[in-house]
Copies of this chain bind each other. A is one copy, B any other.
């Protein structure tokens, strides 16, 4: 405890001294007192980084000051209350109906975007396939097949290059899966550009190009980000990127409402990706919600259901069996028949052991990715370097695959599997199919299946087995090629459902190893791509290997079906990497379509999480931390009861008086150091000018800075400010610097009564950190005013003040604040 106390009083003077200070000494400042005003002595000062230095110093114990917060608490100023009071019961019903309509639209559009990605990936990959097929046809006769493969690798790298260039140069926030960003958004951190239309476009194009480019990535994760952007866009009824305002849904133009819709969008994204509507809702709640609201949850569920249903309908029509509804998600784990693949109680310990393995492998994945990401932050921060790295990974992925296939030569006879999963090729002969497929090897994970799906002659290949003949005799197929060069989605399903004996253990082992490192290298590249499918694939591979070993050890007992273990391995690996809990269990359960697997999947995920957490954080949390985002976890660190509001708050606070001189306000706003973006309004006495008297420090309200900007915009018109003005400007309020204020105007007085929230949430300075944290987190606040016993402002708690305290290995840690 003494240790913590020491850590806390790192500033020159002990904050506890404040209590004894005379009132005059803690007078709130009307002007910031230089750069350190808001952050005070705590602020770690750094030199401003040059653009693109060779090395950016970075460590994980920093908290960036560049992120602003969203305010999930409505500012109850007079304007707001007047409007709310004007609205009658019927009008509220209309608002409620609008919310449902928006959710339906979110679901439909998210489903359509998922369809678009799916179909475009198919067709682009088909195009690429045709180009290379012609080339291979030419070289097969001459015997220069390796040249074709080289061409293919180059082609992949080029596709990835395009995908990487648009991300790196146009919208860097579209990189990765987007899940960490959406987690942050829902948590209340404003990540710039994260829900813009431009981001959506880049994200969708980027993920298509990454997948077509043959990287070890999935297209599922980015759907969550896409859904969130769609939701943010629709709910606002306009696009600032397109400069179109449809003048609808204006009521929803504030952080609170927008967040609710973004939750629905993220859920719709999960739902479309995995055909898991309940999983989607739980994902949204697990990652984002703080306050559970029945109506909101029900709307989110509605959006999710609509989303998977839209995807299902459109893809069914596209595949020609309109009423079939067989494609609930972008990935579908295939039918797990409980009779054939049921589990018994004896297998439970085995599943738990697999969870342990998954936890360890997941932790290893995250640790490797951690070092890689640190390296990237330090050295690969120039966009061009990022593009080059992405191209390199694409080329290496193709090369590794080629070498592996060439070396392994694991040829399996084809008939066994054909019996189990008949290839209904229609009028084309089986040989044509094999040739077809063998050519598809050439490195595009999506191309093969997509092509086959896309070709009308082969409509029934879904969920069937795609063998690759490469380097094998006729009537045999190369199982390494099958595992390596199929689409990852397809490979996962194959690993789940292929009959025992389809894979050579050596092949699976090598594949797991190589794909593990490739996927680890790929995650964090400047491309749009998800980590779900690669994780599932790695897990399914070692899970199946485990199943085969088990079957070998038990002399082929009936219950050692390797497919079942592949499923558990996939769950364990994914759980070990992302550490999601309830939502992932339900997503897996819904993707398998079988409720009885719920219990073992839960056990596996729980074990993987416990084991993984022992070593290192989950991948998403790790990346959030590496970005120094002030993310608020569920609870304050357990040992933080020794800290009080007085010790964590920022002080001194820039306060305003109820009737304030315009010049003073402009000066305060222009001073970037007073960066808490909310100003307490204290008892005003218009006769005293600069110094607020002792009796006048008591809190009257809280006012956000945009008020002044909007007011200033209107100052000449002298019209009364309306809520609509804020809504029109939301969320991009112009900076105060953009407004010219004349000397005469500076001398005017502005009355803040109308704009301030007269009942901001406050805490006494004696409140413990967990108490402050709970209030802040549960209500989604942006500012929390700390007052003394006489309701006088003594400090302000913002997100960064709470996010700084973290439970490390040796107890409570405090992060440093940094401008980067």
Contact = CB atoms under 8 A, between A and B. Distances in A.
Contact of A790 (B308, B599, B778, B790): B790
A738 interface: no
B290 A291 contact: yes
A323 B301 contact: no
A297 B301 contact: no
A766 B771 contact: no
A308 B582 contact: no
Given A81-B641, A286-B294, A807 B590 contact: no
Task: Please indicate which of the listed interface residues A308, A338, A759 has the most CB atoms of chain B within 10 Å of its own CB.
Answer: A759
A116 interface: no
Contacts of A76: 767-768, 771
A734 B260 CA distance: 45
A639 interface: yes
A400 interface: no
Interface string A570-595: 00000000000110011001100111
Contact of A278 (B286, B294, B342, B586): B586
Contacts of A779: 774-775, 778
A647 to B, nearest CB: 13
A520 B253 CA distance: 46
A285 B763 CA distance: 28
Given A596-B593, A791-B790, A811 B89 contact: yes
A302 interface: yes
Contacts of A791: 698, 787, 789-791
A784 to B, nearest CB: 12
A620 interface: no
Q: How many copies does the complex hold?
A: 2
A767 to B, nearest CB: 4
A758 interface: yes
Contacts of A642: 85
Interface string A771-797: 100110011000000010111000000
A105 interface: no
A603 B308 CA distance: 13
Contacts of A787: 791
Interface string A300-320: 011001001100010000000
A255 to B, nearest CB: 15
Interface in A666-711: 683, 698-700
A635 B293 contact: yes
A87 interface: yes
A582 B325 CA distance: 22
A595 B598 contact: no
A599 B309 contact: yes
B700 A789 contact: yes
A638 interface: yes
Interface in A604-642: 606, 634-635, 638-639, 641-642
A27 to B, nearest CB: 18
Given A286-B294, A292-B285, A301 B641 contact: no
A67 interface: no
Contacts of A81: 641, 768
A222 interface: no
Interface string A316-336: 000000111100100000000
A92 B589 CA distance: 33
B323 A602 contact: no
Interface in A139-170: none
A48 interface: no
Interface string A83-101: 0110111001000000000
A291 B294 contact: no
A305 B602 contact: yes
B1 A298 contact: no
A345 B328 contact: no
Contacts of A289: 292
A787 B589 CA distance: 51
A328 B596 contact: yes
A358 interface: no
Interface in A268-291: 275, 277-278, 281, 285-286, 289-291
B344 A323 contact: yes
A396 to B, nearest CB: 37
Contacts of A595: 275, 589-590, 593-595
Nearest to A281: B582
A86 to B, nearest CB: 8
Nearest to A316: B345
A84 B641 contact: yes
Interface string A353-386: 0000000000000000000000000000000000
A295 interface: yes
Contacts of A428: none
Interface in A732-764: 758-759, 761-764
A263 B606 CA distance: 20
23 contacts: A84-B641, A277-B599, A278-B586, A278-B598, A286-B292, A291-B774, A293-B634, A297-B581, A297-B582, A298-B606, A301-B602, A305-B599, A323-B345, A325-B342, A325-B596, A590-B595, A595-B595, A683-B789, A759-B768, A775-B779, A787-B791, A789-B791, A790-B790
Interface of A: 1, 74, 76, 81, 84-85, 87-89, 92, 275, 277-278, 281, 285-286, 289-295, 297-298, 301-302, 305, 308-309, 313, 322-325, 328, 338, 342-346, 581-582, 585-586, 589-590, 593-596, 598-599, 602-603, 606, 634-635, 638-639, 641-642, 645, 683, 698-700, 758-759, 761-764, 766-768, 771, 774-775, 778-779, 787, 789-791, 807, 811
Given A87-B638, A309-B599, 19 more contacts: A76-B767, A76-B771, A84-B768, A85-B641, A277-B599, A292-B292, A293-B635, A295-B635, A297-B581, A301-B602, A305-B603, A323-B345, A325-B345, A589-B595, A590-B595, A593-B595, A645-B759, A683-B789, A759-B764
Give the top 5 A-B pairs by smallest Cβ distance, nearest first. A759-B767, A791-B791, A84-B641, A323-B344, A92-B638
